[in-house]
């Protein structure tokens, strides 16, 4: 069953993105301070999806993923969660989509293929049709590349990637990691929230002025072209 895209109701269809940022701050998943990124950069903020680790928080983030999936304009028949963080995110998103009237199957991969029972390295629904990859972030793009290979090997079509946060900063070159995936695989990458949404949320909070200034300075140094 295809999940038809649906507009998000209300005067501001993108308000849920800033709501997600506020939720991430309150849940301490989005933190501010001094953090070293995988690229070796000193970042004034850090998003740790590993802290979506209780029932309430996972339920809420799944609802945001579902809203972003429907708002993305990407047509998909199946959700795929790359091991390991993508597994719970894909399952939670499928449940949240069903609650919104879009019952979509999901599956995920094992790190190592199973040689007994049903065998193979895919758990859940069969890889078929247009597949939306659900993950937390894109850094080097390795997880996306592996997912695309699995999907194509099964004869299915990778329809796009949905992540929680797009940092909108340079990857290996002048493009962001998300832009590199779009270029390399010819498919859309969408996020619940971007750095633009983070800054928009923080600018509405006077006590966050210092963090806004630090993030804007970081963006001037490492931000990718629009």
Check which CATH number belongs to the domain holding 33 and give it. Answer: 3.40.50.2020
Mean pLDDT of 199-207: 96
Among residues 38, 102, 114, 170, which one is catalytic? 114
- Tell me, yes or no, whether 81 lies in a domain: yes
Tokens encoding 127: 């890889």
- Tell me, yes or no, whether 29 lies in a domain: yes
- Tell me, yes or no, whether 8 lies in a domain: no
Are 82 and 147 a contacting pair, CB within 8 Å? yes
Nearest to 64 by CA among 216, 190, 152, 208: 190
Q: pLDDT tens-digit profile of 52-97? A: 899 999 999 999 999 999 999 999 999 999 998 899 999 999 999 9
- Tell me, yes or no, whether 5 lies in a domain: no
Percent of the chain exceeding pLDDT 70 equals 91
- Tell me, yes or no, whether 2 lies in a domain: no
- Per the structure, the count of domains in the chain is 1
**Burial zone of 87 (CB within 10 Å; 0-12 exposed, 13-18 middle, 19+ buried):** buried
Among residues 38, 102, 116, 214, which one is catalytic? 116
Q: pLDDT tens-digit profile of 150-178? A: 999 999 999 999 999 999 999 878 999 89
pTM as predicted = 0.90
Catalytic residue list contains 116: yes
- Tell me, yes or no, whether 172 lies in a domain: yes
Domain of 214 in residue numbering reads as 15-222
- Tell me, yes or no, whether 131 lies in a domain: yes
Percent of the chain exceeding pLDDT 90 equals 76
Catalytic residue list contains 56: no
- Tell me, yes or no, whether 4 lies in a domain: no
Nearest to 70 by CA among 86, 50, 88, 94: 94
Indicate the DSSP class of residue 77. S
Q: pLDDT tens-digit profile of 94-116? A: 999 999 999 999 999 987 655 54
Which of 120-124, 130-134, 212-216 is predicted least confidently?
120-124
């Amino acid at each position: 069953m295809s999940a038809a895209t649906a507009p998000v109701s209300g005067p501001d269809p993108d308000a849920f993105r800033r709501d997600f940022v506020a939720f991430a701050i309150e849940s301490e998943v989005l933190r501010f301070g001094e953090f070293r990124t995988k690229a070796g950069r000193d970042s004034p903020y850090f998003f740790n999806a590993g802290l979506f680790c209780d029932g309430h928080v996972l339920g809420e983030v799944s609802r945001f993923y579902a809203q972003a999936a429907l708002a993305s304009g990407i047509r998909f028949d199946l959700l795929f969660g790359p091991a390991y963080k993508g597994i719970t995110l894909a399952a939670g998103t499928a449940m949240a989509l069903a609650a919104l009237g879009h019952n979509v199957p999901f599956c995920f991969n094992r790190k190592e293929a199973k040689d007994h029972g049903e065998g193979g390295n895919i758990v859940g629904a069969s890889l078929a049709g247009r597949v939306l990859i659900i993950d937390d972030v894109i850094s080097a793009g390795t997880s996306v590349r592996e997912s695309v290979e699995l999907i194509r090997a099964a004869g299915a079509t990778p329809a796009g990637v949905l992540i929680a946060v797009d940092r909108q900063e340079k990857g290996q070159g002048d493009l962001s990691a998300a832009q590199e995936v779009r270029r390399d695989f010819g498919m859309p990458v969408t996020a619940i929230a971007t750095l633009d949404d983070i800054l928009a949320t923080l600018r509405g909070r006077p006590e966050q002025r210092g963090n806004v200034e630090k993030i804007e300075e970081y963006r001037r140094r490492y931000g990718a072209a629009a």
